[in-house]
Amino acid sequence: MLSFFARGNYNYNNRYLLTATFRADGSTVFSKKNKWGYFPSFSAAWRVSEEAFMKPVKWISNFKLRLGWGTVGNDAIPSFLSLDLYEPSKYGSGSTTMTVLTPKQIKNRNLKWEGSSTVNLGFDLGFLDNRLNVTADFFIKDTKDLLLSQSLAHVTGFSDQMQNIGKIQNRGFELSVNSVNIRTRDFDWQTSFNLSVIRNELKALDSGADYRTTRSQFDSNFTQDDYIAIVGRSLGLIYGYEFDGIYQSSDFYTTPEGRQQLREGITDNTRYTQGVRPGVVKYKDRNGDGIITTADRTVIGNTLPKWFGGITNSFRFKNVDLSFMLQFNYGNDIYNATRLYATQTRSGRRNMLAEAADRWSPTNASNKVPAFDGYITNDVYSRFVEDGSFLRLKNVTLGYTLPAKWTKKAYVSKLRVYATGQNLFCLTGYSGYDPEVSRYQDPMRPGLDWGAYPRSKVFTFGLDIQF
């Protein structure tokens, strides 16, 4: 990437502040005609606390109003998508084998920068000589020409192609609070808190459609589209069937010919081509036609959290210091594909999760785990969509600073020893290894857990020496 950047600042009497910037970025991932993107921005601030009418208000030490507008670009896609690519393969004719070149991708010379414009309104407040500081921001971010993978017709010979598709809008509120709770000669206590609330909405799809489904493709056996983007709703919606229990023996009666038949009023799950029977998964009949088809699929989860943030507390007692950070996330769903895969089997030659031991059998009428069966459904259903809320102890640091009278003899102005632990525990109802997970960095397929490795506990011991 090649970039040019310019910025201008204006400050009048430390009360009225203006900043204007302009940058030009050239990226090699686009074709020659779309290589360059141009991104201006502007911000203004008014330090109200510097005005004469605020001087009598002694308990407010800082008050600033801020307004900003700016644009940014995104080029986070693989290289060479604007070119036709070929790869070598083998071709046989009779007893002769030849090396040939076969197409690997269809070029898209029309790919261009994904662009976002953001309007931000905020304020900074400081109280009691800045012992308490509050910062709040409200923003609206509009993004157009999204860089997303678009399905192609089968006649092209390719499944998908990267294209500029659609528009989304993010709206949110961010709050941070910093406070000096106690400050004495021997003891300090400070707290930092932040909270974010973000909502997004798909505004349009360039194809003119009302929705677009996407396949996670975590395993070749699970081939259905399991994510959906709907105009007017947020991205990251999980798409599938609503779990309605397990077919029990009481759902059937035996015909005079000795066959098992569903009782009247029991929905027939036609997704099982071998016929339903006790122990098979039951889905909710959303359209009320008495049978389960793809028309009964619906939104079964939303991967966007309702709010998230963190809180840090720092303490000092004489020469001992202690700090810890708690991170929290609330209201998002996780698509646990690992659990979906590892609780049903096509053969008996692989390990499964422990919950499979509670599978349905004639002597264990489970209403959660289906029976072992040589035929399984590759459907995605709501039993494997879980609440991803969590509270994590992100880090803890304990330190001790040696007295200066000890260290000055060695010409050391400060010597501190410390120990830090990261990811020490996580409180969550999620059954997977780690609720902070997403298999793909793709806005159309977020929140997927497919064998994700959990965050490791890390312990660090160190010395901080200043001369």
Q: What is the chain's mean pLDDT, rounded?
A: 90
Q: What whole-number distance in Å separates Cα of residue 235 and Cα of residue 228?
A: 8
Instruction: Give tens-digit pLDDT for 5-37.
Output: 999 999 999 999 999 999 999 999 998 899 999
Higher-confidence residue of 3 and 154: namely 3
Range among 249-253, 272-276, 306-310 with highest mean pLDDT value: 306-310
Do 296 and 348 form a contact (C-beta atoms < 8 A)?
no
pLDDT confidence of residue 441 = 76
pLDDT confidence of residue 372 = 82
* pLDDT for 376 beyond 70: no
- 50: confidence class by pLDDT, cuts 50, 70, 90: very high
pLDDT confidence of residue 223 = 78
Q: Where are the alpha helices (DSSP H) in 46-136?
A: none
Residues 6+ away with beta carbon under 8 Å from 38: 22, 23, 24
- 193: confidence class by pLDDT, cuts 50, 70, 90: very high
Residues 6+ away with beta carbon under 8 Å from 151: 159, 160
Least confident of 174-178, 202-206, 434-438: 202-206
Range among 223-237, 256-270, 419-433 with highest mean pLDDT value: 419-433
Rounded to the nearest 10 degrees, how much is the dihedral formed by the CA atoms of 150, 151, 156, 161? Answer: 30
Angle at CA of residue 219, ends 217 and 225, nearest 5°:
35
Q: What whole-number distance in Å separates Cα of residue 200 and Cα of residue 234?
A: 5
Instruction: Give tens-digit pLDDT for 84-127.
Output: 888 888 877 777 888 888 888 888 899 999 999 999 999 999 99
Average pLDDT over residues 382-402: 97
β-bridge partners, 288: none
CATH of domain 2-72+111-466: 2.40.170
Instruction: Give tens-digit pLDDT for 309-356.
Output: 999 999 999 999 999 999 999 999 999 999 998 887 665 567 888 888
Do 342 and 405 form a contact (C-beta atoms < 8 A)?
no
What is the percent of the chain with per-residue pLDDT over 90, rounded to a whole number?
58
Say how many residues make up the chain.
Answer: 467
> Cα 351 vs. chain centroid, distance in angstroms?
29
pLDDT confidence of residue 217 = 82
Could you tell me the pTM of the whole model? 0.85
Higher-confidence residue of 220 and 202: namely 202
- 205: confidence class by pLDDT, cuts 50, 70, 90: confident
User: Cβ–Cβ contacts within 10 Å for residue 393, how many?
Assistant: 16
* pLDDT for 198 beyond 60: yes
- 157: confidence class by pLDDT, cuts 50, 70, 90: confident
- Annotated domain spans of the chain: 2-72+111-466
Q: Is 283 helix (H, G, I), strand (E, B) or coil?
A: strand
- 405: confidence class by pLDDT, cuts 50, 70, 90: confident
